[in-house]
C-alpha cells in the first residue's frame, strides 16, 4: 500500500438500530481486512451517541479506499448518509514512532 486515507462517515438520522443489527457483519468485514486499517472506530457526540465512523485505511489511491468502503456492511445497509475520503499523511504520534520531520 502506498498511503493512508482518512474516511469520515456520518450516520443517517435514525440509523442506530440498523447499525447495531449489522455490527457483527461490520466487525467481520474489518477483521478480514485488518491489514488495510491503521485505525477504525465509531465517532460519538457529547452524550456518547454514535454519530458516524472514522476509518484510516491503507490504500493505493482514493478510488482504492472507496472500493474498500463500499464493501462494508454499514455502507451496503445505508447507515452512512455521506462520507469524506481524504489523503492522510501521518506526521507525528505513536503510529509513526514519534515524528517524521
- For residue 35, being part of any structural domain is answered with yes
Residues near 90 by beta carbon (within 8 Å), at least 6 away in sequence:
4, 38, 96, 100
**Residue 82 host element (H or E):** strand 80-88
Q: How many domains does the chain have?
A: 1
Instruction: Tell me if 98 is assigned to some domain.
Output: no
The CATH number covering residue 40 comes to 3.30.70.1060
Per-residue confidence in pLDDT tens, the chain, 101 aa: 479 999 999 999 999 999 999 999 999 999 999 999 999 999 999 999 999 999 999 999 999 999 999 999 999 999 999 999 999 998 999 878 899 88
Domain annotation covers residue 66: yes
- Inside any domain, residue 58: yes
> How far apart, in whole angstroms, are the C-alpha atoms of residue 5 and residue 88?
5
What is the residue-wise DSSP string for 7-69? EEEEEPTT-HHHHHHTHHHHHHHHHHTGGGEEEEEEEE-TTS-EEEEEEEEEESSHHHHHHHH
- Cβ neighbours of 52 (radius 10 Å): 22
Domain span holding position 58: 3-89
Amino acid at each position: 500500500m502506498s498511503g493512508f486515507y482518512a474516511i469520515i462517515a456520518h450516520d443517517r438520522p435514525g440509523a442506530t438500530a440498523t447499525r447495531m443489527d449489522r455490527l457483527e457483519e461490520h466487525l467481520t468485514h474489518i477483521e478480514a481486512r485488518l491489514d488495510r486499517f491503521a485505525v477504525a472506530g465509531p465517532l460519538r457526540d457529547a452524550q456518547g451517541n454514535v454519530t458516524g465512523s472514522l476509518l484510516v485505511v491503507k490504500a493505493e489511491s482514493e478510488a482504492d479506499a472507496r472500493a474498500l468502503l463500499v464493501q462494508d456492511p454499514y455502507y451496503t445497509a445505508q447507515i452512512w448518509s455521506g462520507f469524506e475520503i481524504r489523503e492522510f499523511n501521518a506526521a507525528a504520534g505513536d503510529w509513526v514512532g514519534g515524528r517524521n520531520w
